[in-house]
């Protein structure tokens, strides 16, 4: 018998040859398996032949055109041998193309409906190759009907021949294939309407070249799909896009990339940097690998795109190609000058700061002061960029100006670990409406939290709503809800936020919600949304989701799941009380729950959002009540909180019917709402109001501390401020509370109101409000056996009304102090 070693060559040359053969077989296998189109049989794609051709053209066949230096010759050498199998072998390799098409299609539909672009736009697809993208676009928009003309521009004759055959087969006469260098393409040479506009604009002027001008261009859409990385002289191509694009047109690019965070760390106009950084081994390997096929991944290509245009949406992703993560990006842009006029900047800034701006709306609301010069941080960043000839931050290029620009790289935003704490708002919106009685002329500032109460305020159509949260992801959640009402029907909105699950979430996000979201919010939900909405469910995500998960686990361990279902479906209070008494109530009395959950400070903070300062208030009230009865009750760790929780739940179960009246606790037990028990904003009637085109015109979403936002507002403009229980988070010995109260006095009109809730019966900071010009009135208090509201989580509710203006502090001094007062519902105040 011969040993295995007898068959192994000993000559080094033979060893190398054998190794190369093994690597070749491995690569063929990899591409055959990884690039196989999903849902298609091998017969349909002629798989083996296609991938053998692909492997030969990419890794074996020499690029004969390389010797001449002619780019067209080089491309033809590379593509001619594989032109007929190009599409079949790129399905898995060139990921992101369909997403890019979906995003630009959504933008075009929105802009066409808004009347800012032609109803039958022109599309130029640079590096269009076989025309694959144009055919795929038909899944989003009818190419023959929606577009007046489509130009597929490519330098490879073989690929262009494939494209012509494709469109002849499809019968699309409005698609024209141009075999030409992208640098030389001029739309007016093919479009008589563009030429006519050009002649009008240039009439009477000296023409120095034949290039288009931004105000004479005719293309509403320009795309490049995995083409920019193959163009050696990319600067003039990107410049030419700027010149042929119509004023309100958009650009879509999808391509490979690698980049170090050092390159973009100081830029505020990239539209977000989630997953943009590539580790050094990835940068070195992929750049070297693609250079073999004349594909260049240097960062300058993407950087120049972002410099020449305004960023609308930006995505950084990885193609898991047979276990290897290949970086690619999708970028949607617009004209750099879109919305950059001084008047437009001032108008948007005035809405964020409540500063005067001469518009029809402002003239109707009263006299305009001219002695106040207050600017938002977003405006200041925009001016700095314009002075440096840089694009504006991405939020300025959105279709809606709900979200105010913020610096995502600040540590105060990073400390939330890119996650929201609250997936639902734990405040009774019905009680808010009864106490506040919102009017059309009100200007409201409220903490965002999960956005439920912000939407409830929006139903009342006040003049302005300022939603404030330091946690960016809480504002991302509000943005998602606002986009959903703007773009979706009631059935989809209910699935998303009623049931908390939607199997088609990603498709909705890309194809319908994307035109109505900021780049940062879109990036976040593209990454986190599929898991939250398609797997775990929205209400089992975030910090509050940990609490719901633990509650569900506890009931399963104790065998009470069926009882919980019965409790949530009970049709009468007597039935509900009976179920509660016989089974579930005992769980709250268990020592294991007290020791491991209610008495656990970390759990209280991470899951329920109860900070130490608030817990201290609960314990102090407990101690005072204990003294009043002679100290008869035990004073063990966690016992005060335990009593507090028990006094919360008992009255709720005894006085409100979960199945029809109390969606707050129904959600905690079921993990979703029901058609008979849900927040106000999820009713069909509310959807009619919130889906109107002007429903959110007055909404501004600030990602900052409350103190920072109100310090940059015109004095005496707010009428209602809702701070939830956030004042409980301030330490009594600190100065943050007084600073914020003084700032609130400055920002509020006389008779303006601050509504707050507290875990204390009379919180210590009420005296501070009264010292700062407010009259404080406790409008609700929790007594044993009764509910303060449907949530019944807080001991008292207060309305603090501004009676007199105190001496204002200097605005700039306040900003320098940066008190870090309030924040998101999620972090304690920091000095």
pLDDT number for residue 40: 47
Both 726 and 780 in a single domain?
Answer: yes
Nearest 10 degrees: Cα torsion 91, 92, 96, 97: -10
Strands, DSSP E only, in 139-237?
149-154, 175-179, 219-225
Residue 18 CA to its chain's centroid (Å): 51
pLDDT number for residue 615: 76
pLDDT number for residue 617: 82
Count how many domains the chain has. Answer: 5
Both 162 and 254 in a single domain?
Answer: yes
Residue 376 lies inside a defined structural domain of this protein = yes
Both 630 and 721 in a single domain?
Answer: no
What whole-number distance in Å separates Cα of residue 470 and Cα of residue 614?
Answer: 19
Both 358 and 323 in a single domain?
Answer: no
CATH number at residue 329: 3.40.50.150
Q: What would the two tokens of residue 291 be?
A: 């250079």
Whole-number Cα distances in Å, 254 to 152, 228, 621? 16, 9, 60
Show the 3-state SS of 69-126.
CCHHHHHHHHHHHHHHHHHHHHCCCCCCHHHHHHHHHHHHHHHHHHCCCCCCCEEEEE
Both 459 and 497 in a single domain?
Answer: yes
Show the 3-state SS of 250-315.
EEEEEEECCCCHHHHCCCCCCCCCCCCCCCHHHHHHHHHHHHCCCCCCCCHHHHHHHHHEEEEEEE
What whole-number distance in Å separates Cα of residue 352 and Cα of residue 332?
Answer: 26
Residue 679 lies inside a defined structural domain of this protein = no
Q: Name residues whose C-beta falls within 8 Å of residue 601's C-beta, 6 or more positions apart in sequence.
A: 612, 615
Both 763 and 647 in a single domain?
Answer: no
Residue 292 lies inside a defined structural domain of this protein = yes
Residues of the chain with pLDDT under 50: 1-9, 34-35, 37-45, 81, 83, 85, 206-216, 358-372, 605-607, 635, 637, 810-831
Q: What is the pLDDT of residues 773-822, one digit of tens each?
A: 999 999 999 888 889 999 998 999 999 999 999 875 544 444 444 433 33
pLDDT number for residue 552: 87
What whole-number distance in Å separates Cα of residue 272 and Cα of residue 281?
Answer: 23
Residue 533 lies inside a defined structural domain of this protein = no
User: Containing domain of residue 423, as a range?
Assistant: 411-519+688-817
Of 335, 357, 372, the domain-final residue: 335
Strands, DSSP E only, in 519-676?
none
The Cβ of residue 505 has, within 10 Å, a number of other Cβ atoms equal to 24
Residue 75 lies inside a defined structural domain of this protein = no
Both 237 and 384 in a single domain?
Answer: no
Both 283 and 356 in a single domain?
Answer: no
The Cβ of residue 632 has, within 10 Å, a number of other Cβ atoms equal to 6
Q: What would the two tokens of residue 262 be?
A: 């050092």
The reported pTM is: 0.84
Give the helix/strand (H/E) hosting 198: helix 192-202
DSSP-assigned letters across all residues of 52-70: HHHHIIIIIS--GGGGT--
Residue 118 lies inside a defined structural domain of this protein = yes
What whole-number distance in Å separates Cα of residue 38 and Cα of residue 32?
Answer: 12
Of the candidates 218, 209, 270, the residue with the CA atom closest to the CA atom of residue 236:
209
What whole-number distance in Å separates Cα of residue 61 and Cα of residue 73?
Answer: 14
Both 285 and 304 in a single domain?
Answer: yes
Q: Is the peptide bond before 671 cis (omega within 30 degrees of 0)?
A: no
Residue 87 lies inside a defined structural domain of this protein = no
Both 417 and 302 in a single domain?
Answer: no
Q: What is the pLDDT of residues 412-446, one digit of tens each?
A: 999 898 999 999 998 999 999 999 999 999 999 99
Of 373, 397, 421, the domain-final residue: 397
Residue 775 CA to its chain's centroid (Å): 40
Q: What would the two tokens of residue 77 be?
A: 């050498």
Q: Are 188 and 212 in contact (CB under 8 A)?
A: yes
Both 164 and 266 in a single domain?
Answer: yes
What whole-number distance in Å separates Cα of residue 744 and Cα of residue 732?
Answer: 18
Q: What would the two tokens of residue 755 be?
A: 């509504």
Both 356 and 310 in a single domain?
Answer: no
What whole-number distance in Å separates Cα of residue 105 and Cα of residue 482?
Answer: 20
pLDDT number for residue 16: 55
What whole-number distance in Å separates Cα of residue 800 and Cα of residue 770?
Answer: 8
Residue 532 lies inside a defined structural domain of this protein = no
pLDDT number for residue 144: 96
């Amino acid at each position: 018998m011969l040993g295995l070693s007898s068959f192994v060559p000993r000559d080094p040359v033979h060893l190398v040859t054998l190794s190369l053969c093994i690597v070749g077989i491995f690569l063929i296998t990899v591409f055959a398996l990884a690039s196989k189109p999903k849902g298609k049989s091998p017969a349909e794609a002629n798989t083996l032949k296609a991938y053998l051709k692909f492997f030969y053209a990419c890794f074996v066949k020499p690029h004969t055109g390389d010797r001449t230096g002619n780019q067209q010759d080089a491309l033809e050498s590379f593509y001619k041998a594989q032109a007929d199998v190009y599409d079949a072998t790129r399905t898995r390799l060139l990921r992101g193309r369909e997403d890019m098409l979906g995003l630009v299609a959504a933008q075009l539909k929105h802009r066409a409906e808004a009347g800012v672009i032609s109803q039958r736009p022109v599309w130029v697809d640079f590096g269009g190759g076989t025309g694959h993208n144009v055919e795929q676009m038909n899944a989003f928009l009818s190419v023959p009907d929606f577009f007046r003309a489509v130009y597929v521009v490519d330098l490879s004759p073989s690929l262009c021949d494939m494209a012509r055959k494709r469109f002849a087969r499809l019968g699309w006469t409005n698609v024209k294939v141009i075999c030409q260098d992208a640098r030389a393409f001029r739309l007016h040479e093919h479009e008589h309407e563009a030429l006519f506009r050009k002649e009008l604009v240039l009439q009477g002027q000296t023409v120095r070249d034949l290039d288009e001008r931004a105000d004479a261009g005719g293309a509403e859409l320009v795309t490049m799909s995995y083409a920019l990385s193959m163009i050696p002289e990319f600067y003039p191509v990107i410049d030419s896009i700027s010149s042929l694009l119509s004023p309100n047109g958009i650009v879509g690019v999808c391509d490979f990339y690698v980049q170090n965070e050092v390159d973009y760390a100081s830029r505020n106009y990239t539209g977000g940097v989630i997953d943009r950084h590539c580790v050094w081994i990835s940068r070195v390997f992929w750049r070297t690998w693609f250079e073999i096929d004349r594909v260049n991944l240097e960062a300058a290509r993407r950087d120049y795109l972002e410099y020449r245009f305004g960023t609308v949406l930006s995505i950084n992703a990885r193609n898991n190609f047979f276990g290897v993560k290949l970086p690619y990006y999708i970028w949607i842009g617009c004209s750099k000058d879109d919305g950059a006029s001084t008047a437009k900047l001032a108008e948007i800034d005035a809405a964020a700061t409540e500063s005067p701006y001469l518009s029809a709306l402002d003239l109707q609301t009263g006299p305009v002061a001219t002695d106040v010069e207050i600017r938002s941080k977003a405006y200041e960043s925009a001016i700095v960029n314009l002075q440096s000839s840089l694009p504006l931050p991405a939020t300025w290029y959105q279709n809606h100006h709900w979200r105010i620009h913020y610096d995502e790289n600040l540590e105060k935003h990073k400390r939330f670990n890119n996650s929201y704490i609250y997936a639902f708002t734990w405040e009774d919106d019905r009680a808010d409406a009864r106490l506040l009685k919102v009017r059309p002329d009100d200007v409201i500032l409220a903490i965002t939290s999960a956005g439920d109460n912000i939407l409830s305020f929006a139903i009342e159509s006040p003049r302005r709503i300022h939603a404030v949260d330091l946690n960016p992801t809480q504002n991302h959640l509000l943005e998602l809800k606002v986009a959903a009402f703007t773009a979706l029907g009631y059935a989809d909105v209910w699935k998303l936020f009623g049931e908390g699950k939607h199997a088609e979430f990603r498709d909705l996000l890309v194809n319908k919600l994307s035109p109505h979201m900021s780049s940062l919010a879109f990036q976040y939900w593209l990454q986190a949304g599929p898991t939250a909405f398609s797997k775990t469910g929205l209400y089992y995500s975030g910090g509050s989701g940990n609490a719901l998960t633990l509650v569900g686990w506890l009931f399963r361990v104790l065998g009470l799941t069926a009882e919980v279902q019965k409790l949530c479906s009970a049709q009468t209070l007597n039935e509900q009380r009976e179920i509660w008494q016989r089974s579930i109530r005992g769980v709250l009395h268990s020592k294991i729950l007290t020791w491991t959950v209610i008495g656990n400070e970390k759990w209280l903070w991470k899951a329920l959002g109860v900070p130490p300062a608030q817990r201290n208030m609960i314990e102090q009230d407990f101690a005072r009540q204990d003294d009043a009865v002679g100290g008869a009750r035990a004073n063990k760790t966690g016992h005060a909180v335990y009593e507090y929780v028990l006094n919360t739940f008992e009255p709720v179960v005894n006085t409100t019917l979960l199945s029809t009246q109390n969606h707050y606790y129904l959600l905690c037990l079921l993990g979703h709402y029901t058609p008979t028990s849900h927040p106000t904003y999820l009713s069909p009637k509310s959807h009619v109001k919130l889906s109107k085109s002007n429903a959110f015109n007055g909404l501004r979403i600030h990602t900052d501390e409350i103190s920072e936002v109100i310090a940059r507002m015109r004095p005496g403009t707010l009428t209602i401020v809702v701070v939830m229980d956030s004042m409980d988070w301030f330490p009594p010995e600190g100065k943050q509370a007084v600073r914020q109260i003084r700032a609130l006095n400055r920002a509020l009109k006389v008779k303006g109101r601050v509504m707050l809730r507290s875990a204390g019966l009379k919180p210590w900071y009420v005296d501070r409000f009264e010292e700062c010009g407010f009259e404080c009135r406790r409008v609700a208090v929790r007594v044993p056996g009764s509910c303060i509201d449907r949530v019944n989580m807080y001991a008292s509710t207060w309305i603090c009304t501004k009676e007199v203006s105190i001496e204002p502090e200097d605005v700039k001094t306040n900003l320098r102090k940066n008190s870090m007062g309030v924040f998101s519902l999620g972090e304690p105040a920091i000095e």
